[in-house]
Structure 1
Amino acid sequence: MLLRGSRLGDISGEVLNFISSRDADLWIAEADVLVDMAHLLMLYERGLIRREDCARILTALKELLAEGFDVLGEGEDIHEAIEAYVIERVGPAGGRMHTARSRNDEVATCIRIALREQMLGLMEELIQLIDVLVQIAYDTRERIIPGYTHLQHAQPTTLAHHLLAHADALIRDLERFEDAYERVNLSPLGAAAFASTGFEIDRHMTCELLGFSGIVENSMDAVSGRDFALEVLADTSILMISLSRIAEEIILWSTSEFGYVEVNDLFASTSSIMPQKKNPDTAELVRAKSGTAIGSLVGALSICKALPMSYNRDMQELTPHIWRGIGAARSSLRVMRGCISTLRFDFERLERSSTDGFTTATELADSMVRITGIPFRTAHQIVGRIARLPGKPSMEDLDRIAMEVANVRPSLMGFTAEDLERALDARTNVAMRARPGGPAPAEVSKMLDARKEYLKSASSRLRERRSRVESAISHMMELVDRTACSS
């Protein structure tokens, strides 16, 4: 084993497997090579490695990228395996690439690079899902549906208003990831084991080459801090809660009891024994994967709890949780986008259901207050009694119950049969709720226009972030090519 050297003796296969991180390291393999290249270019720039040795090592690393990581031999982690690969091709001079560096700062940097890339992909997929919700909402501004509280019919609203509520929750999720990205995109490279190094290195050079926006300044914090990963896992868990709420509604609304939507065949399955079944399996799995994300967060928190400064091998067990959590979120985003974009809504059934359970009761009470001037609590008590009646209430019902409850007669106070009819109409209910954030189509249109502008801005910010990283890596690879060709 390359890193055991003369200090330690042989190691058993069982122990090697126990301490190995090779499976999880596949996520950071390419990032590791990029880190090696940036470090080598910096060492050469600072006069800490000969041009010939630097060129030969860079050539070997380029060959590894071309061949793929399956060619790597044994090693307890990807970093040792890559170093062994380089030494095998370059000879003892290959060991110079680890000058002024520890696996501690190397690993921390690789995780941030890989996580940065995952976050950029996740934010793009999240923007796409929000855009689907906004587009469907834009087309359904006039579609009346029942609104719910406690899963009971509450008040009429529109499908657009309902979908926009989900979109806004996802926008907050996006903002959390954007905020966390700035803390992820910082370079620990150059911190060495934890106490920096006596070599005259340039941390800012490697930071720029790798597309980071700054460095993690304190060298001890740089190698031991994993709060950036915990923050991303927390954001991922919150996102998955948002997705699980949408998934749950798809599951409920597609049942025979609701019958509001039909899931496209591509996102459904059938039973192995009951041929009539059409099950919303993808939505159910999204609902389940929220548990996977939460479990990843709890596992990561438990590993990081009470770790003394600075680096501890416990952190190796953290990284699989990172990839598991963010992987569950990204796959869920892609599936939900496809599922939602292909849903078929039964608009007639939705509108018929919009007044079930006397959902217009609130507006009836409000109308009585506005027209007759009676206190709202009195109107609430009158309408509460009316709600116990079967069928649609008449003016006679209203007068009779109002007399029983409060000794008032609304028909003698300016409240007419036409007022009653308007109050009981679902569309009138929705149209009257034109206050900021309400379900009235005109108000929803304002919100949707604002969300479209927000998505344009978010997409622009995402392109800028990705462009900065890609430009930096592209520039570094040009330097690698020039340096490697000079040997």
Structure 2
Amino acid sequence: MSDMMWGGRFTKAEEKNALDFNASISYDCRMYKEDIAGSKAHAKMLARHGIISKEDCEKITEGLSAIKKEIDDGKFPFSIELEDIHMNVEKRLTDDIGDAGARLHTARSRNDQCALDLHMYMKRQIGRVAEKLISVEEALLEAAEKYKDVILPGYTHMQRAQPVLFAHHMLCYFAMLERDFKRLEECYDMADMSPIGACALAGTTYPTNPLEEAEELHFSKVYGNSLDAVSDRDYLLQFLSFASICAMHLSRLSEEFIYWSTSEFHFIELDDGYSTGSSIMPQKKNPDMCELIRGKTGRVYGSLIGLLTVMKGLPLAYDKDMQEDKEGVFDAIDTLYFALDIYAGMISTMTVNGKHTREVLEHDFSNATDMADYLAKKGLPFRQAHAVVGGAVHYCIEHHKVLHDLTMEEFKSMSPLFEEDILEALKIENCVKNRESYGGTGPKSVERQKAHGKEAVAAMKEKAAQWKESMAFLG
């Protein structure tokens, strides 16, 4: 007979290679706080309804507290033979307190127990990720304020397009991460649902009350269908979707920082603490943190695609395939957590070469649209104005000039609508200052964006504090 806790109907032990393949303790041990808290709540509920005695409940609670301390202290001997965190804790509890420990699993299955642990774990981790995301948002706001007067080229197709404030550029990434935080709120809402009481798939014959356990564990709601409770992994997919989009945003910023820190651009310099050197070329200063974050984005995508693929053909209710839900999620959490942490520090310590970003605009045609707008405001249809300016750019290229190098005689030869004030319209500072349309790069518009950002961060902090407080009972 197998000596596994589920082995009563088996006549032989599991093969060693099958046991190693089947076990998940190497990674699901990180959910020990959730597993122990869930078991304590379950024992209390069983005792309240007379399913186990109060004495057994007290023994279970004390035994679980002792196990948690041992794990906290790094002294607990996890066993691969016991497969997972649930069986490791339960076996040790039963060894320590006897029959009372063996009664803990009444009206519960590993299916709903595992789902419960994951729901709680995700709630706790979402709060941790939220704090790091907010730190990046604050760093972006600080950079926007610190370099509020810096102007740099804005690009389309990686070609110089129009001048923008550096603050405007940073606030674009703020807006991306603000949307990410809203997605994170949806992740928390989906994780904030207790599956306990569903048992294996069909509920239980015992007079339990899942609502009591949910309240004890700080859940706001309970699954209404037991099949759904044990088979749902949408909340994990939702988080991986959030993580993938957030990582993509960080990757886009990484791409720009990599370009901007080259000698060719020389727009920014990353702090030495967030750069590395070359083992052979002494002069090198490499943006390795940016490159790693850009590279690890594919890893986060892989976790999302992996779990979507696992789930796509599963019949109801629980299938062992679903054990594959954890490693990718855990890896995505760790990857995103460190990427956000790195970016908060990297943005806060970088140096922006504002003098250089401004100078390069004196040698290109980033003010061409302003020249066309000038003619349109004088009454020339914009499409015709566009053609005039296109011709002017061509003329300048042939004569090794830029637009503000043209003489009034040259301007007049291109259109009689040009007056002396065209030179003011073409000044880079004015090209920026005059774009005060809602959401534009004008200084007043950017100040409005910064004010909104501060309000948004305050709201994010309040929400993240609520999430953290909700899970503080885990210790």
Amino acid in the other structure paired with 1:7: R
> Are positions 1:376 and 2:382 aligned together?
yes
How far has the Cα of 1:356 moved from its partner?
3.6
Task: Give 2:412's match in structure 1, choosing from 391, 399, 404.
Answer: 399
1:164 equivalent to 2:171? Answer yes
Moved more, 379-388 or 100-109: 379-388
- 1:366 aligned residue: 373
Deviations 1:31-67, CA, capped at 9 Å, x for gaps: 1111111100111111111122221121111111111
1:344 to 343, 347, 351: 351
CA contact (8 A) 1:57 1:90 kept: yes
The residue that corresponds to 1:62 in the other structure is 65
Write the deviation string for residues 70-107 of structure 1: whole angstroms up to 9, x where unpaired: 33444011111111101111113311000000000000
Q: Using the alignment, how far apart are the partners of 1:232 and 1:330 within structure 2?
A: 13
Corresponding residue to 1:331 among 320, 338, 349 = 338
What value does the CA root-mean-square deviation take over the aligned residues? 1.3
2:204 corresponds to: 197
| Equivalent residue number for residue 179 of structure 1 | 186
State how far apart, in whole Å, the 1-side matches of 2:380 and 2:243 are: 50
In structure 2, distance between residues paired with 1:109 and 1:394: 75
Match of 1:460 in 2: 462
Q: Which residue of 2 aligns with 1:405?
A: none
Cα 1:35/1:204, change in 2 over 3 Å? same
Which TM-score applies when normalising by structure 2? 0.95
Map 1:302-451 → 2, pairs under 5 A: 302-371=309-378, 373-388=379-394, 389=396, 390-391=400-401, 392-402=405-415, 409-410=416-417, 415-417=418-420, 419-451=421-453
* Contact persistence 1:386–1:397 (CA under 8 A): no
Q: Amino acid of the residue matched to residue 390 of structure 2? A: G
- SS for the counterpart of 2:104 is helix
Paired letter, 1:382:
V
Assess if the C-alpha contact under 8 Å between 2:123 and 2:471 holds in 1: no
If the length of structure 1 is used for normalisation, what is the TM-score?
Answer: 0.92
Contact 2:32 2:68 (8 Å CA) reproduced: no
The alignment status of 1:99 with 2:99, answered yes or no, reads no
Alignment pair present for 1:50 and 2:53: yes
Aligned partner of 2:217 in structure 1 is 210
Contact preservation (8 Å) 1:138, 1:445: no
CA deviations 1:177-225 (Å, max 9, x no partner) are 0122111111001110010000000101110111111111111000001
Contact 2:124 2:467 in 1 (8 A): no
Equivalent position of 1:31 in the other structure: 34
Of the structure 1 ranges 182-191 and 131-140, higher mean CA displacement relative to structure 2 is found in: 131-140
Q: Does 1:291 align with 2:298?
A: yes
1:10-25 to 2 correspondences below 5 Å: 10-25=13-28
What is the SS of the residue equivalent to 2:164?
A: strand
- Within-5 A mapping of 1:92-131: 92-131=99-138
The answer to whether the 8 A contact 1:431-1:440 is kept is: yes
Amino acid at match of 2:272: D
Tell me by how many angstroms 1:2 deviates: 3.0
| Alignment partners' CA distance in 1, 2:179 and 2:251 | 15
The amino acid of 2:46's aligned partner reads L
Whole-Å separation in 2 of the counterparts to 1:86 and 1:361:
75
CA distance in 1, matches of 2:228, 2:106: 21
What displacement does 1:325 show? 1.2
Query: How many Å apart are 1:252 and its aligned residue?
Result: 0.6
Query: Is 217-226 or 317-326 further displaced after alignment?
Result: 317-326
Tell me the CA shift for residue 393 of structure 1.
Answer: 2.4
Identity fraction in percent: 35
Once the two structures are TM-superposed, the CA of residue 229 in structure 1 deviates from its matched residue by 0.4
Aligned to 1:71, the other structure's residue is in SS state: coil
* SS of equivalent residue, structure 1 residue 433: coil
Contact 2:193 2:222 in 1 (8 A): yes
Query: Contact conserved, 1:129 with 1:333, CA < 8 A, in 2?
Result: yes
Give the drift of 1:140.
2.2
Tell me, in whole angstroms, the C-alpha distance in 1 between the residues paired with 2:172 and 2:410.
37
Corresponding residue of 2:140: 133
Mark the runs of 5 or more structure 1 residues left unpaired by the alignment: 403-408, 478-487
Aligned length: 461
- Note the C-alpha offset of 1:396: 2.1
1:24 aligned partner, one-letter code: Y
Distance 1:93 1:31 in 2: 20
Q: Which residue identity lines up with residue 335 of structure 2 in the other structure?
A: A
Is the 2:24–2:83 contact (alpha carbons within 8 Å) kept by the matching residues of 1? Answer: yes
Give me the whole-angstrom Cα distance separating, in 1, the residues matched to 2:426 and 2:277. Answer: 41
Structure 2 match to 1:4: 6
**CA offsets per residue over residues 148-189 of structure 1, 9 Å max, x none?**
111111001100011000110110001110122111111001
Distance (Å, rounded) in 2 between the aligned partners of 1:394 and 1:220: 78
Aligned counterpart, 1:41: 44
Counterpart of 1:161 in 2: which secondary structure?
helix
Secondary structure at 2:471 match in 1: helix
**Distance in 2 between residues matched to 1:143 and 1:422, nearest whole Å:** 19
CA contact (8 A) 1:267 1:280 kept: yes
SS of corresponding position for 2:67: helix
The answer as to whether partners of 1:146 and 1:355 remain within 8 angstroms in 2 is no
CA distance in 1, matches of 2:352, 2:147: 10
| CA–CA distance in structure 2, aligned partners of residues 173 and 467 of structure 1 | 21
Q: Does 1:264 pair with 2:267? A: no
Matched, 1:237 2:248: no
